[in-house]
Structure 1
Amino acid sequence: MKYRLLFLYLSLTLLLSAPAVHADQASPAIENLDQLVQTALANNPELKSSSARWEMYRSRIRQAGALEDPMLMLKIQNGVVTDPVNFKRDGMTQKVVGISQLIPFAGKRQLKEDIAAAEAETYRWSVEERKLELARMVREAYYQVYFVDKSLGIIDKNIRILDDFITLAQTKYSVGQGAQQDIYKALLERSKMLDMKISLEQQRRSLEVNLNSLLNRPQTTKVGAITDFKLAPFTYTPEQLLDIAEENRPQLKTIKAQIEKGRVGHLLAQKESYPDFNVSFEYMQRDKAMGSDGSDMYSLGVTFNLPIQKERRAAMRAESSSEVNMASEELSGARNTISSGINDLLAQLERRKKLIDLYTTGIIPQAEQSLESAVIGYRVNKVDFLTLLDNRVTLFNYEREYYDSMADYQMKLAQLEALVGKELR
């Protein structure tokens, strides 16, 4: 029976050590969060598409305020039907060259430019909003990888602890002081650790795929190790964060640009009650005929539309007013969402910070002492093996929760930065 247990122990050790050696050989360099964010902002195809859309709308500004092309006119006037190509038969037959230009009422062109500029601004700030979102997603993936790596490290440490437990249980069993069941329990716990390690390795690969997609780099690219960090002091109040969001959040600037677009659109709708002008000039060349000296002639004129379609123009004004009202309400809703999000995230950050301090100064040191005491007690037969395993599981869970709190704190901070539109580190 002892040989069977030894064989099982050695088999599990080999199964565990093989992938660990492979992972060590394939480990890439240490990752830098700021570099990852900059890579994502430079390479992400969705962001490039949004930037191209903004450039497209920027190009429409000059188009919106430009004059229409002038119209060139060429015609034969007062030709004789019975002799259509004879220009000397009648003194009134004329070869006419004319040009005309449509000129909008004063101020309309500038208002059209302002509308196009406001619309381009909405897309500009949409690009900036997408940058914030992309940076947040990269940071979240980064700290998720950090937590998985720390969990894998804790599992490796616990497997070594269980190896010591197995050796200790086998030694006690060999001298008749321990139960064979203790060895089986330790081996089972070791198998559970191995099962958890396999799941975490798969989870890390999934996180690598997600991060590589955000950075637009090959899916086979390995994400390197992530160094430990300390929490920076955080002193912002909700009121300060609201002011920062009002000044920096692209979403609010997008909505403000929509309000401006509606406001200028309303001014243009009011201008539509004034006519546009068409200025024309014609030069008429004549030949001598029927006693006429054939003097050339010209024509200069101005035509304009009569803005009498009141219903259409009233509908234009109503549309622009509705656009302003809609965007104003949307702005109020966005501010409320940001305010509630700030307060919620601050509460979560405070909770995580308190947990981190508690784990660091109290729970984990106490759990380590409890485990050490249980090991000593088991060696002298004052503590049973189940108590020993229970202390080990307790320490394992608290260590994972500590790193979970560390990673989650940083992810919540990334969410808060995206919410207010500014880095707060």
Structure 2
Amino acid sequence: MMMKTVMTAMCLLIWTITPAMGWEGEESLAELVLEAMENNAEIRADREVVQGLLDASEYAGALPNPKIGVGLLNVPTGSFDLDQEAMTQKQISVTQRLPWPGKRGLAAESRLLAARRAEAGLKAKALALQREVAGAYYELWFVTESLRLNGELYDLVSQLIHASASRYGAGREVQQAVLTGELELSGLTNERLALDGKRRGLEIRINRLLQREAHLPVIPETGLGLPRLRPSTSWVAQAERGNPRLEVLKHEVALSRVSLSLAEKESMPDVDVKLAYGQREDDPMGNSRDDFVSLSASFPVPVWKSRREDRLVASRRATERAALLNYEGYRLELPHLIDGVATQMATAVDRHEFYNRDLVPRARQLSQALVSRYEVGGSSYTDMIEAAMAAMRAELTARQYLRDALLAEVKLMELAGGTFPGVASLMHAGAEKSPSDSDPTRTKPNEGE
């Protein structure tokens, strides 16, 4: 009677291997990614850097501050009397530098492009952080599922050992079956210890990425679904608009061109205009003397132009060519990168569906058949337990392919510039915490739009 009960329980276990129901305290990936973006000090620091560069663009486009000067001119050293000589005067002056037309605009544009480049770099760093958090989260989900299946296998083998021990006592089972079951339990225990350590390590990694003040347990959602497959061309079109590295390289090209224009204007003189007023004392006889007003302009002469300005222009032209080559190289490489990752995701999805549709049901059928034969003495204990474990291993492999598909999707999101809800608003200078904001490129945690 006991053996029949155990066999029935085993059949039910084999035929109902499904993802676990949700647990209280589960945290969604979108919530964790948003927390990481809000807490990460490096992301926040980069936002301040971008804001500083934006402010610097206004500074670069403004006129230099005028200079005010005061002085005593032409004072005789014999007496130091201010009324002795007619040219002695007390002077106050104002000097204003007037940059060559176009220089201020180019300088402001250069600072603005540097800010945009830094902002694209901030976006790249944020997307890399998003990928790291998502990668650790999906790995933690897979380890959690592995632990759950390990526990179910352990319970199953324990019941079979108990049943085999009863049959061995009644003379209907050999001792080898009991010893084999105990060996399987030892192997499962060793696997559980390794999985527990890996789970703890992944929790620590997630807490580190989120920069939490204290360690908190992380419980991943159990009901993860397959990502929606999209053609590579769709990902490429999105990447051409949103890939952060492509944006950085594009801004570097624009910045190099502005820097070249500035270098070409370097030989054009900035003019210093000076207006001075000189006040003279009355002469020793009491006669009034007129005051002086002076207006002058000065500018540099490019005497060493061939060794200074021309060399600077040549350097900036080389920088522009290098920036163009880097941009073109990555622009041509990007579609192939996306195509490779999209192929990995599609393969993982296909294999996951194949396992769920074919291999997992077949493994369950084989296990059930061996259980039925074992009850009447038609199969060995070893064959039966190996079939039961094979069924659960097939289920675990199916989940492994689901994890691989989700990891590939997150990588595609990084390449295409896609974000989780609320993240896009935190990738700009002066961004406020706004969890309610969402990026239309991603409506759900497992949609790589």
> With structure 1 as the length reference, what TM-score do the two structures score?
0.90
SS at 1:96 equivalent? strand
How do residues 63-102 of structure 1 correspond to structure 2 at under 5 angstroms? 63-84=59-80, 86-102=81-97
Identity %: 25
Whole-angstrom distance in 2 between the partners of 1:228 and 1:68: 62
Partner Cα separation in structure 2 for residue 351 and residue 256 of structure 1: 33
Larger CA deviation: 313-322 vs 48-57:
48-57
After superposition, residues 223-372 of structure 1 pair within 5 angstroms as 223-234=218-229, 236-289=230-283, 293-311=288-306, 312-372=308-368
C-alpha displacement of 1:216: 1.1
Offset of 1:247 from its aligned partner?
0.5
Q: CA deviation at 1:181?
A: 1.0
Query: Which whole-Å CA distance do the structure 1 matches of 2:117 and 2:24 have between them?
Result: 41
C-alpha separation in 2, matches of 1:296 and 1:339: 75
Partner of 1:166: 161
CA distance in 1, matches of 2:356, 2:145: 15
For residue 5 of structure 1, what is the aligned residue in structure 2?
A: none
Distance 2:45 2:87 in 1: 62
1:212 aligns with 2:224: no
Task: Indicate which of 402, 405, 412 corresponds to 1:406.
Answer: 402
Shift of 1:115: 0.9
Contact 1:345/1:412 (CA < 8 Å) preserved in 2?
Answer: yes
* Cα distance change on mapping 1:28 and 1:217 into 2, 3 Å: farther
Mean alpha-carbon deviation: is it higher for 368-377 or for 72-81?
Answer: 72-81
Tell me how far 1:208 sits from its aligned partner: 0.4
Amino acid at match of 1:319: S
CA contact (8 A) 1:282 1:300 kept: yes
Indicate the residue corresponding to 1:151 in structure 2.
146
Q: CA deviation at 1:252?
A: 0.9
**Residue deviations 1:75-106 (CA, integer Å, cap 9, x gap):** 2222221110x222222221111121111111
Distance in 2 between residues matched to 1:330 and 1:395, nearest whole Å = 51
d(CA) in 1 for partners of 2:228, 2:82: 93
> Is 1:43–2:39 an aligned residue pair?
yes
Distance 1:41 1:92 in 2: 69
Decide which moves more: 318-327 or 201-210.
318-327
Partner amino acid for 1:191? S
- Between 1:68-77 and 1:294-303, the stretch displaced more is 68-77
Whole-angstrom distance in 2 between the partners of 1:337 and 1:389? 50
Answer whether contact 1:28 1:222 (CA < 8 A) is retained. Answer: no
Q: Which residue of 1 aligns with 2:11?
A: none
Task: Give unpaired runs (5+ residues) of structure 2.
Answer: 1-22, 419-441, 443-447
Letter in 2 for 1:35: E
Q: Structure 1's 189 and 218: CA in aligned 2 closer, same or farther, altered over 3 A?
A: farther
Stretches of structure 1 that go unaligned for 5 or more consecutive residues are 1-26
Higher helix share: 1
RMSD: 1.6
The equivalences for 1:53-72 within 5 A come to: 53-72=49-68
- CA distance in 1 between partners of 2:24 and 2:128 (Å): 27
Q: Deviations over 1:279-338 (max 9, x none)?
A: 001111112216653111111111111123222111111122122111111112222332
Between the aligned partners of 2:304 and 2:167, the Cα distance in structure 1 is 102
The amino acid of 1:227's aligned partner reads T
Deviations 1:244-284 (A, max 9, x none): 11111121111111111110111111112211101001111
Which secondary structure state, in structure 1, belongs to the residue aligned with residue 70 of structure 2?
A: strand
For the 8 Å contact 1:338–1:420, the answer to whether it is kept is no
Structure 1 residue 28: Cα displacement = 6.3
**Aligned pairs for 1:26-37 within 5 A:** 29-37=25-33
Structure 1 runs (4+) deviating above 4 angstroms are none
State the TM-score, normalizing by the size of structure 2: 0.85
SS at match of 2:221: coil
* Alignment deviations for residues 349-373 of structure 1 (CA, whole Å, 9 cap, x no partner): 1211111111111111111111111
Is 1:373 the counterpart of 2:369? The answer is yes
Q: Paired residue for 2:122, among 123, 127, 131? A: 127
In the other structure, the counterpart of 2:18 is none
